[in-house]
Homo-oligomer: A and B are copies of this chain.
Amino acid sequence: MPVRVQADPFDLGAETAAFAGAAGGAGAVVTFTGLVRDLPGTPLSVMEIEHYPGMTERAITAMVAEATARWSLTAVLVIHRHGRLTPGEAIMMVATAAAHRAEAFAAAEFLMDYLKSRAPFWKKEVTGQAGAWVAAKDSDESALKRW
């Protein structure tokens, strides 16, 4: 199943290796991984990710269908976590496989731009007792205009 929304951690290395191993006729594999930042010297904060069960899977599946229609992809994978994540953990990954690199890159960027602004996830950074919802960026909304 190319779309997985889950609370559990995933193994980035194993997922990447399995994806490339099953990519078959592809010459080009692109992955994107989003990480909870782990900045030395800053107070340790966790990230809480809320989502809209049902709509999340539906929205991402529609994005994957759109990407598959636009580019000749031999495989696509989207994994996105929700719940409580600690610094350094992978939040999500996208992988695309295609015969040519331009298509694999374009599809991965397209999926990322849509995931950022059109998949129903909301991030909250919690430091100590205080939590702050991450604000959506205008640059993320405007990134959609290129597609």
Contact A25 B37 (CB under 8 A): yes
A27 in contact with B35 given A11-B17, A13-B16, A90-B20 (CB within 8 Å): yes
Q: CA of A35 to CA of B25 in the docked complex: distance in angstroms? A: 9
Q: How many copies, total?
A: 2
Please name the residue on chain B nearest to A33 by beta carbon.
B29
Contact A30 B27 (CB under 8 A): no
A122 at the interface (CB under 8 A from B): no
Q: CA of A99 to CA of B25 in the docked complex: distance in angstroms? A: 33
Sorting the interface of chain A by its residue count into under 10, 10 to 19, 20 to 34 or 35 or more gives 35 or more
Q: Which of A16-65 contact B (CB under 8 A)?
A: 16-18, 20-21, 23-40
Contact B33 A20 (CB under 8 A): yes
- Taking Cβ atoms with an 8 Å cutoff, the residues of A that contact B are 11-18, 20-21, 23-40, 88, 90, 99, 101-102, 104-105, 108-109, 112, 143
